C-alpha cells in the first residue's frame, strides 16, 4: 500500500465538503444491460451541434457513425446500439430545453457485439491526421465539461506543449467513476498517455490524484511507457481541485491568467477516462459510445458504478439500480456541486454525464436566508479570488455591467461561495443568472 504524506500540494482557497464516496468507491464497474430506446441529442458537448447522416427507418450498427461534426469545435456521434433510427426530432435535453436528437430503437435480436478492428498506426500520423482521428472518435472531456478533446491537441503554430496533466482528482462528493477507472483500467489510461504524450511531444506527464484514492495512486505508479516519464502526484483533498486551473496550480504552482487557457502556459489537461477512451479507439477501433457513471445518493436503492451506453434514459438507469426510494425529491446529473437538477427522468445519459445522484428532502431542504454579515468566508473559499458576496449583491440589484468589471465571467460556478456562506445566501445561483443575462445581451 502506498504511504501518503499529510502535507500534500494543493491550491489556495477552496472548500472541504463531506466526501460521501463510501457507498460506491469499492464497487467494481458493472455493465448496464441494453434497453429498448436511446435518445442521442445533437448537442451534448461544448461547441457546434453535430449533423445527422442517417434517416428515420435506417438500420444502424453499434459503433456506426450517425452524425458528423458540425464545425471544428464539435465531434462525431456514433450509435450506441444496433437497431433502427425511429426519428430525428426534438426531445427533452437534460438541461431542460427541447433540442434535436436522433432516436434509435435497439434490435432485440442483435448480439450488440462490436466487430474487432486492427490498431491504428498512430505513430505514422501527422499532427493534423491525429487530431482528425480524435475528432472522428467522438471523444470529449469525461470530467463533466464535455469539451471536444481534439481541440486541445490542435496546437497553434509557434506553441509547444511541454507538460501533459492527467486529472484523477474527482473532487466532487459522491462521484467515484474516475476512481474505479484508475483502479480497473490503469493499463488503458497509461496507454492513452503514451499515445498523446508522443504525438504532442511533451517533456513530462503528471497524474494528479487526491489522497483519498490510495489504491488508484498505487495502480498508476509503474514504470513509464514509451520512454517518457509519468509522475503520479497525490494531492490534498479539496474542492474544486478537479478544475484545470486549480489542478495546474496545485501540481506546479503555475497560475493560468484570467481569460487564458492551460495551453497559454504550455500545458494540456485531460481526464483519466478520456485517456482510457482514447486508447480504446486507437488500439481497438472503438469510438465513444459508452461511459462510466456513478449512481448514488440517499434516494437510490442500489448505488453502483455502471458502464452505460450513451443515450440510455435516466429512468432506465435508475430502474436498473432498483429504483428511487419514496422519499426521493431530486435527481441530479453530475456531481452535487456543479451538476444539473433534472426536471424529467426521461432524458438521456450524455457523453459528459459523470453521475446520477438521488437526494431526499433532508439534502434538498433550503435553509432560511439571512442578510450578509460581511464575514468574508466566501472570499476565502473562492478559488479564483473573486468578491462573491459583492457579486451576489450586485446581481440582486441587476447591476450586471458592474459585475463584468469585477470579472464575473471568470467565475467557474463551482459553488464554493454558497457552500461557505453562513447566511445561506444562494450566491452561485445569483451569479449564474447574471452571467446568463450578460451573455444574452452580448448575443444581441
Question: Would the annotation count 26 as a binding residue?
Answer: no
Residue matched to cell numbers 490534498:
236
Integer Cα distance of 356 and 297 in angstroms: 8
Integer Cα distance of 191 and 187 in angstroms: 6
Counting every residue, how long is the chain?
Answer: 444
In terms of DSSP H, where are the helices of 142-204? Answer: 149-153, 177-184, 186-200
Query: All 3 cell numbers of residue 280?
Result: 480504446
What is the DSSP secondary-structure string of 388-404?
Answer: HHHHHHHHHTT-HHHHH
The 3-state secondary structure of 289-354, one letter per residue: CEEEEEEECCCECCCEEEEEECCEEHHHHHHHCCCECCCEEEEEECCCCCCEECCCCCCECCCCCC
Q: Is 26 helix (H, G, I), strand (E, B) or coil?
A: coil
Question: Would the annotation count 414 as a binding residue?
Answer: yes
Question: Would the annotation count 321 as a binding residue?
Answer: no
Select from 119, 151, 112, 118 the least CA-distant residue to 134: 151
Q: Using alpha carbons only, what angle is made at residue 162 by residues 156 and 165, rounded to the nearest 5 degrees?
A: 105
What is the DSSP secondary-structure string of 226-278?
Answer: TT--EEEEEE---BTTTSHHHHHHHHH-PPPPTT--GGGGTEEEEEHHHHHHH
Cβ atoms of 24 and 303 closer than 8 Å: yes
What is the DSSP secondary-structure string of 120-138?
Answer: P-GGGS-HHHHHHHHHHTT
Question: Would the annotation count 378 as a binding residue?
Answer: yes
Question: Would the annotation count 411 as a binding residue?
Answer: yes
Select from 126, 89, 85 the least CA-distant residue to 106: 85
Question: How far does CA 224 lie from the centroid of its chain?
Answer: 26
Question: Taking the CB of residue 376, how many other CB atoms lie within 10 A of it?
Answer: 12
Question: Taking the CB of residue 397, how many other CB atoms lie within 10 A of it?
Answer: 10
Query: All 3 cell numbers of residue 258?
Result: 484570467
Query: All 3 cell numbers of residue 261?
Result: 487557457
Cβ atoms of 303 and 322 closer than 8 Å: no
Question: Would the annotation count 421 as a binding residue?
Answer: yes
Question: Would the annotation count 171 as a binding residue?
Answer: no
Cβ atoms of 279 and 176 closer than 8 Å: no
DSSP-derived letter for residue 263 is: G
Integer Cα distance of 414 and 56 in angstroms: 40
Query: All 3 cell numbers of residue 416?
Result: 464554493
From the annotation, which residues make up the binding site for [4Fe-4S] cluster? 372, 375, 378, 382, 411, 414, 417, 421
From the annotation, which residues make up the binding site? 372, 375, 378, 382, 411, 414, 417, 421
Amino acid at each position: 500500500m502506498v504511504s501518503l504524506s499529510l502535507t500534500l500540494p494543493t491550491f489556495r482557497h477552496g472548500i472541504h465538503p463531506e466526501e460521501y464516496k463510501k457507498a460506491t468507491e469499492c464497487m467494481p464497474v458493472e455493465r448496464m444491460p441494453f434497453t429498448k430506446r436511446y435518445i442521442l441529442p445533437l448537442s451534448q458537448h461544448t461547441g457546434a451541434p453535430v449533423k445527422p447522416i442517417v434517416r428515420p427507418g435506417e438500420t444502424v450498427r453499434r459503433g456506426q457513425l450517425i452524425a458528423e461534426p458540425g464545425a471544428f469545435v464539435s465531434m462525431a456521434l456514433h450509435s450506441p446500439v444496433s437497431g433502427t433510427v425511429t426519428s430525428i426530432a426534438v426531445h427533452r435535453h437534460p438541461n431542460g430545453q427541447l433540442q434535436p436528437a436522433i432516436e434509435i430503437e435497439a434490435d432485440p435480436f442483435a448480439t450488440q457485439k462490436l466487430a474487432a478492428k486492427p490498431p491504428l498506426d498512430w505513430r505514422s500520423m501527422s499532427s493534423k491526421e491525429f487530431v482528425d482521428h480524435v475528432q472522428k472518435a467522438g471523444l470529449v472531456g469525461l470530467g463533466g465539461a464535455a469539451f471536444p478533446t481534439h481541440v486541445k491537441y490542435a496546437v497553434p503554430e509557434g506553441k509547444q506543449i511541454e507538460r501533459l496533466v492527467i486529472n484523477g482528482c474527482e473532487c466532487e462528493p459522491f462521484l467515484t467513476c474516475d476512481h474505479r477507472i484508475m483502479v480497473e483500467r490503469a493499463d488503458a489510461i497509461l496507454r492513452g498517455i503514451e499515445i498523446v504524450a508522443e504525438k504532442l511531444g511533451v517533456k513530462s506527464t503528471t497524474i494528479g490524484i487526491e489522497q483519498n484514492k490510495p489504491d488508484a495512486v498505487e495502480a498508476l505508479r509503474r514504470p513509464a511507457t514509451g520512454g517518457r516519464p509519468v509522475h503520479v502526484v497525490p494531492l490534498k483533498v479539496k474542492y474544486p481541485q478537479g478544475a484545470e486551473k486549480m489542478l495546474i496550480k496545485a501540481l506546479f504552482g503555475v497560475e493560468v491568467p484570467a481569460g487564458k487557457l492551460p495551453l497559454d502556459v504550455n500545458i494540456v489537461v485531460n481526464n483519466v477516462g478520456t485517456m482510457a477512451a482514447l486508447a480504446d479507439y486507437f488500439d481497438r477501433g472503438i469510438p465513444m459510445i459508452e461511459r462510466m457513471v456513478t449512481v448514488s445518493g440517499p434516494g437510490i436503492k442500489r448505488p453502483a458504478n455502471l458502464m452505460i451506453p450513451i443515450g440510455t434514459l435516466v429512468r432506465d438507469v435508475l430502474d436498473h439500480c432498483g429504483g428511487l426510494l419514496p422519499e426521493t425529491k431530486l435527481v441530479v446529473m453530475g456531481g452535487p456541486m456543479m451538476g444539473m437538477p433534472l426536471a424529467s427522468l426521461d432524458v438521456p445519459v450524455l457523453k459528459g454525464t459523470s453521475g446520477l445522484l438521488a437526494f431526499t428532502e433532508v439534502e434538498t431542504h433550503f435553509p432560511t436566508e439571512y442578510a450578509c454579515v460581511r464575514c468574508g468566508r466566501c472570499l476565502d473559499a473562492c478559488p479564483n479570488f473573486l468578491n462573491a458576496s459583492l457579486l451576489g449583491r450586485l446581481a440582486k440589484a441587476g447591476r450586471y455591467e458592474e459585475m463584468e468589471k469585477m470579472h464575473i465571467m471568470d467565475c467557474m460556478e463551482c459553488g464554493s461561495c454558497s457552500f461557505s456562506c453562513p447566511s445561506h445566501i444562494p450566491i452561485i445561483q445569483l451569479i449564474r443568472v447574471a452571467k446568463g443575462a450578460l451573455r444574452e445581451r452580448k448575443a444581441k
